Amino acid sequence: MKETQLLKGVLEGCVLAIIKEQQVYGYELVQMMRNYGFTNIVGGTIYPLMQKLEKQGLIKITELPSPDGPNRKYFFITPEGEQQLKDFKEHWNSLVVKVDRILEKDGE
């Protein structure tokens, strides 16, 4: 199974976690994901996800001045987004425990 297939389900939670820590703009978010090891992430993956999160009310987008040129669209997490992130963490931790149990048994 390719990493991209596994990633689809967890990318939203990872993005919310990053945005919770600091406001970011799109290109910066892509670079941060790459720094965390998601080297295949591109803007074409992130920007549609950000639009989806905004429509769901999990983030808000605010245009702010940029020191390097035109204004940038910065992403901020909303209280609903923080709750979604909390839920994601709980589900993720539970899933990891279950998968680890199976994989450890397979290695015996």
Q: How confident is the model at residue 107 (pLDDT cuts 50, 70, 90)?
A: low
Fold of 3-106: Arc Repressor Mutant, subunit A (1.10.10)
Residue 47 · residue 26 · CB < 8 Å: yes
Residue 77 · residue 88 · CB < 8 Å: no
Which pLDDT tens digit goes with each residue over 25-36? 999 999 999 999
Q: According to the model, what pLDDT value does residue 75 have?
A: 95
How far from 34 is each of 20, 21, 37, 68, 104, CA to CA, in Å? 18, 17, 5, 22, 29
Which pLDDT tens digit goes with each residue over 29-81? 999 999 999 888 888 888 999 999 999 999 999 998 888 888 899 999 999 99
In terms of Cα–Cα distance, which of 46, 71, 76, 47 is closest to 61? 76
Q: Residue ranges per domain, the chain?
A: 3-106
Q: According to the model, what pLDDT value does residue 105 have?
A: 81
Q: According to the model, what pLDDT value does residue 108 have?
A: 62
Model-level pTM? 0.86
